[in-house]
Amino acid sequence: MVFVFLLSGCGQDQTQNHQTNPDQQPSQLVEEKNDEKPTPEPILEPEEELPTAALPTTELPETNRTPEKTEPATESLSWYLRPNLNHTIPEGPVNALDLLNQYQAFYVKPDAGNKIYLTFDEGYELGYTPQILDILKANDVKATFFITGHYLKSQPELVKRMVNEGHMVANHTWNHPNLAKVTPEKLQEEILKLEEEFKNLTGTEMPRYIRPPEGAYSETSLKLTSELGYKTVFWSLAFHDWDPNNQPGRDYSYQYVMDHIHPGAVILLHAVSQSNTEALNDIIVDLQKEGYEFALFN
């Protein structure tokens, strides 16, 4: 059995594309990681002390937003999948599925019928997001953008455009840390600081969906995130697209999505990918021709 580990992440500067044949299959266990070694994303320190609790608005359910004083797990787990080619839901880590159900986390919407969910991780901007938004608007498709604090501070106009055009802008943490390795207090700060600054910028509440940086998690991080009223969103379709210096190419991006799509799919794309941007319009049009409907999380 072939395992393909698909981990969320971001790269840095873009040079030239590396073309890859999507029909090639790995002959051994392959783990695709995002080490993010070349140039770390800027760290934005809070400008003022973060409140220990943030009150939800009347539009959101009441939640105790102060995590219990539980020590974070020392082991950091990584989300991965066993992709398939028959358009059925791929298998996630067996030991993780019970945790997902227990702590309001998910990687697929199995009861959604032919609805699928297009999501983009936004750690920094490489110039493709305006084009992505243009394509989404032209096709009347809504997507979810998981943003970091750096992205919000460096691209406020793009964030406001996402909101104004009806997309969901959700939480990817303030500093993009491994949530399995921070204290409960730091985890709370990472989530609520972004939530607070998003409201200051847009005048709207941030929907309580979060994608953990790099797909890293532990039972403790899932538990604490859930106590803040958030649902953790992993993914059921992804590939190595986050490194601008090692792009798979437009044809690979298109074919991989078309070959692995399935009902209820949560598609993870990175907006720093030239390959994804070039393939996006055809992906949307052809998936709609196959009867799929793009949707937002409830």
Interatomic CA distance for residues 67 and 20, integer angstroms? 45
* Tokens 């070349």, residue located: 38
Q: Which of 150, 167, 260, 270 is catalytic?
A: 270
Q: Is 241 noted as a catalytic residue in this protein?
A: no
Q: Is 270 noted as a catalytic residue in this protein?
A: yes
Element (H, E) at 141: none
CB 180 within 8 A of CB 30: no
Coil vs helix vs strand at 168: strand
CA distances from 104 to 100, 141, 259 (A): 6, 26, 29
Question: Nearest-CA neighbor of 225 among 198, 191, 199?
Answer: 191
β-pairing, 216-217 with 77-78? Answer: antiparallel
Q: Which of 23, 35, 121, 259 is catalytic?
A: 121
How many alpha carbons lie under 13 Å from residue 222 in its C-beta half-sphere?
Answer: 23
Interatomic CA distance for residues 161 and 250, integer angstroms? 26
The catalytic site residues sit at 121, 270
